[in-house]
Amino acid sequence: MSLHLTATVAARGLDVSIDVQGGHTVAILGPNGSGKSTLLAVIAGILRPDAGRATLDDATLFDTASGTWLPPHARGTGLLAQDPLLFPHLSALDNVAFAPRSTGASRARSRELARTWLERVDATELAGRKPSALSGGQAQRVAIARALAAEPRLLLLDEPMAALDITVVPAMRQVLRRVLAGRSAVIVTHDVLDALLLADHVIVMESGRIVEQGPTKDVLARPRSTFGAGIAGLNLARGLVEGGAVRTPSGLLVAGLHDESTVTEGAAAVAVFSPGAVSVHRERPTGSPRNVFAAVVRELEPHGSQVRVQTDQISADVTAPVVAELDLLPGAEVFLAVKASEVAIYPA
Ligand SMILES: Nc1ncnc2c1ncn2[C@@H]1O[C@H](COP(=O)(O)OP(=O)(O)OP(=O)(O)O)[C@@H](O)[C@H]1O
């Protein structure tokens, strides 16, 4: 699989050129209105560009010079939106079976395939339920299975976790991480964790243009755009898995959500969490099942509307009143707390 695309959509200020290589997941990041969804719509064939050309392997998806235009269903692309859009009258199993059924597989074979896909997204037990009996996260897992069951050459995901309850996002991210591994996909997201955990490459868009692109680690380590800089600075704790948590060489033990099939005891792993998920205290917080670390404030720096508190290993974003209230100055001894549900652990 390889996608080459150049497109302009004047009414939306979009002017881009992208390449996606086979087996790679590309994350598209950028502020609101930067053109991420527009770009995805152009690839999927929902929106016609004013000018441009795109090829997916040997198929020309569109070419405005020659007037070529492939309709969405003939593109070999599968689109997963924020809203799962399941057929309300069909069970989860039949929703997923719909894809192979519509390409000619028998009813029995389609259901067999559907079961396999449901299993891959941890939704086996949901097979018989109608969409009205599914939670948002469950419905989205079924929608992922349905999109995959169509075996698209390129999977397009438009903020697939944006509509989900925040508590189910980490588990959904693990499911996506599993199903996207080695698959050709483009994922639009607001969340840098998605880029870090799901994507090989990152494209950063601003005002309809690509302002940065490259391997995820490079872009996030050395961001050159304003947006890139804003999303950098995630907390990363590297170490070895110990009882489902990550033990760093300096002794921190960071508990988090993890997929037991990929994160195994004793193996190298990384725990990732956003500075926004870290709370700062002067007294050791008690009574909640959280990660609590003693630390010393090294530096304070403005970060958007907040203040980033840097300690030796972990940074936290807090509001200015919190800085004043806790009297946070370099040298202050603090406790940093982060819920395990806000931490994603994955193999290093
Ligand atoms: N249906 C539409 N009709 C006209 N203009 C639109 C439409 N949808 C989006 N736009 C405009 O096109 C530009 C790109 O929007 P787009 O939705 O692609 O951005 P985005 O990066 O996906 O934003 P978000 O992160 O808010 O989803 C914006 O200026 C937006 O106002």
CATH code at position 36: 3.40.50.300
Q: Is the CB of 35 under 6 A from ligand 1?
A: yes
Last residue of one domain, picked from the residues 213, 231, 249: 231
35 neighbors 43 (Cβ within 8 angstroms): no
Query: What radius of gyration do the chain's Cα atoms show?
Result: 22
Going by alpha carbons, the residue nearest to atom 6 of ligand 1 is 12
Q: What is the pLDDT of residues 54-86, one digit of tens each?
A: 999 999 999 999 999 999 999 999 999 888 899
Which residue from 132, 134, 92, 144 is spatially nearest to 115, judged by alpha carbons? 92
Full domain range(s) for residue 335: 235-347
Same domain, 289 and 203: no
Q: What is the pLDDT of residues 187-203, one digit of tens each?
A: 999 887 788 889 999 99
**More confident call, 147 vs 222:** 147
What pLDDT sits at residue 151?
92
Same domain, 211 and 249: no
ipTM (interface predicted TM): 0.94
235 neighbors 308 (Cβ within 8 angstroms): no
220 neighbors 234 (Cβ within 8 angstroms): yes
User: Measured in angstroms, how far is the CA atom of residue 188 from the centroid of ligand 1?
Assistant: 13
For the chain, the maximum distance between any two Cα atoms, rounded to a whole number of angstroms, is 69
Candidates 37, 40, 161, 203: which one to mutate for ligand 1, based on the most atoms within 8 Å of Cβ? 37
Overall average pLDDT of the 310-329 stretch: 92
What pLDDT sits at residue 223?
67
| Helix, strand or coil, per DSSP, at residue 140 | helix
Token digits for 334? Answer: 């603090």
User: Measured in angstroms, how far is the CA atom of residue 30 from the centroid of ligand 1?
Assistant: 12
Query: How many other C-beta atoms lie within 10 A of the C-beta of residue 45?
Result: 19
Q: Is the CB of 189 under 6 A from ligand 1?
A: no
Last residue of one domain, picked from the residues 181, 204, 231: 231
The number of distinct structural domains making up the chain is 2
Same domain, 32 and 171: yes
Same domain, 63 and 139: yes
DSSP 332: -
Q: What distance in Å separates the CA atoms of residue 211 and residue 224, rounded to the nearest whole number?
A: 8
Same domain, 177 and 218: yes
User: Measured in angstroms, how far is the CA atom of residue 35 from the centroid of ligand 1?
Assistant: 6
Same domain, 157 and 199: yes
CATH code at position 267: 2.40.50.100
Same domain, 167 and 93: yes
User: Measured in angstroms, how far is the CA atom of residue 37 from the centroid of ligand 1?
Assistant: 7
Tell me phi and psi for residue 288, to 5 degrees. -125, 145
Same domain, 75 and 150: yes
Last residue of one domain, picked from the residues 180, 200, 231: 231
Q: Is the CB of 34 under 6 A from ligand 1?
A: yes
Same domain, 24 and 134: yes
What residue spans of 45-121 are helical by DSSP H?
92-102, 107-120
**DSSP per-residue letters across 247-273:** E-TTS-EEE-B--TTTS-TTSEEEEEE
pLDDT at 228 exceeding the cut of 90: no
Going by alpha carbons, the residue nearest to atom 14 of ligand 1 is 35
Same domain, 213 and 128: yes
Same domain, 204 and 239: no
Same domain, 197 and 272: no
Which residue from 294, 277, 284, 280 is spatially nearest to 344, judged by alpha carbons? 277
What pLDDT sits at residue 231?
67
Q: Is the CB of 36 under 6 A from ligand 1?
A: yes
